[in-house]
């Protein structure tokens, strides 16, 4: 049993904290949204009144926040908690953020003698709830071994991809592919529908053919094709289009920092930007199909 401070209880952090509590850990939680804290308490966690207040006796600090600025703010900002984390505690940030920010916070942690991992996840809200996430870890191998039992309580696959920041780079590579694949899958289905094809039959065919992907099989962007996909419930829940826009922007920055060419990634970043401008930023990212298919 570990004493865990957990900061950020949104679509992902909420169920992740709940799985840690379910596994028997003592989890002290905080989020800016009181309802999110209450949901975690209902799942067996203990409420803290601030990020600082989660740290009481903490052996491990886990954060699951929206973007780089939130992570930098929570750890290094004016009321940043890094200075107050108990000595010897392990810090694990599971948010998807810029590799440079992950390295900056981890270096500040190291200056205090604390080990820190970047451990962004893949698997979506369903994976967070089911405890089947994939963790993509950057940092020292011995820090990962300390974290492993906790990551196993929240996930199924754990990849150590390199030093601090490498987890974020690998996560951005995955999400850039996902963002492009989702957009082109929507485009393909829209083409078929414009020719009078049934989107369900077309998707079923693609899901067992060479055009198959997570977008055809699990999160199909066309309404009514898959009952449990966000598209079939007005694109609610799931992975926010604005979060995908953030990740595509991070991929573009990462490419520019090493002079890499990502023509499809840059194109897709613009599509998610247009989806934001069309007012769909808070909807699931598969709503990007509506740019092409007009209010399906
Ligand atoms: P979310 O917006 O649902 O949750 C973020 C939570 O952080 C919110 O509840 C917010 O109130 C809280 N928060 C923000 N600032 C805070 C602060 N200073 N102190 C305490 N709490 C604060 O986002 P999410 O969908 O849970 O995603 C979290 C991270 O995981 C993002 O980086 C995202 O890119 C990544 N991610 C999301 C998914 C997904 O399917 N939703 C999948 C993989 C990775």
pLDDT tens digits for the chain (296 residues)? 999 999 999 999 999 999 999 999 999 999 999 999 999 999 999 999 999 999 999 999 999 999 999 999 999 999 999 999 999 999 999 999 999 999 999 999 999 999 999 999 999 888 999 999 999 999 999 999 999 999 999 999 999 999 999 999 999 999 999 999 999 999 999 999 999 999 999 999 999 999 999 999 999 999 999 999 999 999 998 899 999 999 999 999 999 999 999 999 999 999 999 999 999 999 999 999 999 886 54
CB-CB contact of 168 with 118 (8 Å): yes
- In this structure, what token pair is assigned to residue 221? 């962007």
Residue 116 pairs in a beta bridge with: 91
Separation between Cα atoms, residue 30 and residue 53, nearest integer Å: 8
pLDDT at 10: 95
Reply yes or no on whether 171 is catalytic: yes
- Of ligand 1's listed atoms, the one at least distance from the Cα of 67 is 32
Could you tell me the CA-to-CA distances from 271 to 26, 72, 122, 266, 288 in Å, in that order? 43, 28, 22, 9, 7
Q: Kindly give the distance from the C-alpha atom of residue 201 to the centroid of ligand 1, in angstroms, as a whole number.
A: 35
Q: Which residues have CB under 6 Å of ligand 1?
A: 7-13, 30-33, 36, 51, 64-66, 70, 73-74, 95-96, 121-122, 124-125, 239, 243
- Cα-Cα-Cα-Cα dihedral sign, residues 16, 22, 28, 30: positive
| Residue from 7, 13, 47 whose mutation best tests the ligand 1 pocket (most atoms within 8 A of CB) | 13
Q: Kindly give the distance from the C-alpha atom of residue 248 to the centroid of ligand 1, in angstroms, as a whole number.
A: 16
Q: Kindly give the distance from the C-alpha atom of residue 252 to the centroid of ligand 1, in angstroms, as a whole number.
A: 21
Task: Residue 70: count other Cβ atoms within 10 Å of its Cβ.
Answer: 19
pLDDT at 293: 85
Task: Residue 232: count other Cβ atoms within 10 Å of its Cβ.
Answer: 15
- What's phi and psi for 81, nearest 5 deg? -90, -10
- Of ligand 1's listed atoms, the one at least distance from the Cα of 12 is 26
Q: Whose CA is nearest to atom 44 of ligand 1?
A: 121
Q: Give the residue among 85, 59, 56, 80 at the shortest CA–CA distance from 69.
A: 80
pTM of the model as a whole: 0.93
- In this structure, what token pair is assigned to residue 171? 């996560």
| Residue from 7, 10, 240 whose mutation best tests the ligand 1 pocket (most atoms within 8 A of CB) | 10
pLDDT at 113: 97
In the DSSP assignment, the letter for residue 262 is -
Separation between Cα atoms, residue 36 and residue 34, nearest integer Å: 5
CB-CB contact of 104 with 51 (8 Å): no
The helix (run of H) or strand (run of E) holding residue 29 is strand 26-30
- Of ligand 1's listed atoms, the one at least distance from the Cα of 70 is 15
Separation between Cα atoms, residue 33 and residue 132, nearest integer Å: 25
In the DSSP assignment, the letter for residue 284 is B
pLDDT at 238: 87
- In this structure, what token pair is assigned to residue 210? 């060479």
Could you tell me the CA-to-CA distances from 135 to 2, 83, 107, 147 in Å, in that order? 19, 26, 21, 11
Give SS3 for 185: helix
Torsion-angle region of residue 98: left (phi > 0), alpha (psi -120 to 50) or beta? Answer: beta
Q: Kindly give the distance from the C-alpha atom of residue 70 to the centroid of ligand 1, in angstroms, as a whole number.
A: 9
């Amino acid at each position: 049993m570990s004493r865990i401070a957990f900061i950020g209880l949104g679509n992902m952090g909420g169920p992740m904290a709940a799985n840690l509590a379910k596994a028997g850990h003592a989890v002290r939680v905080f989020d800016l949204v009181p309802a999110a804290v209450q949901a975690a308490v209902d799942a067996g966690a203990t409420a803290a009144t601030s990020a600082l207040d989660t740290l009481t006796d903490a052996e491990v600090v886990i954060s699951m926040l929206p973007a780089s600025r939130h992570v930098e703010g929570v750890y290094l900002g004016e009321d940043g908690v890094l200075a107050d984390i108990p000595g010897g505690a392990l810090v694990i940030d599971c948010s998807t953020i810029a590799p440079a920010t992950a390295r900056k916070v981890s270096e500040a942690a190291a200056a205090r003698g604390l080990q820190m991992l970047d451990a962004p996840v893949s698997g979506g809200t369903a994976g967070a709830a089911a405890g089947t996430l994939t963790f993509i870890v950057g940092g020292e191998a011995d820090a990962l071994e300390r974290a492993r039992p906790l990551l196993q309580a929240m996930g199924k696959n754990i990849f150590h991809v390199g030093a601090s920041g490498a987890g974020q780079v690998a996560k951005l590579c995955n999400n850039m592919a996902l963002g492009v694949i989702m957009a082109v899958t929507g485009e393909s289905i829209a083409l078929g529908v414009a020719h009078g094809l049934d989107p369900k039959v077309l998707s079923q065919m693609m899901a067992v053919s060479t055009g198959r992907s997570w977008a055809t099989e699990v999160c199909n962007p066309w309404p009514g094709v898959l009952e449990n996909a966000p598209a079939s419930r007005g694109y609610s829940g799931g992975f926010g289009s604005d979060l995908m826009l953030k990740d595509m922007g991070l991929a573009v920055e990462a490419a520019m920092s090493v002079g890499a060419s990502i023509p499809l990634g840059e194109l897709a970043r613009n599509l998610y930007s247009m989806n934001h401008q069309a007012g769909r930023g808070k909807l699931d990212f598969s709503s990007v199909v509506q740019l092409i298919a007009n209010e399906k």
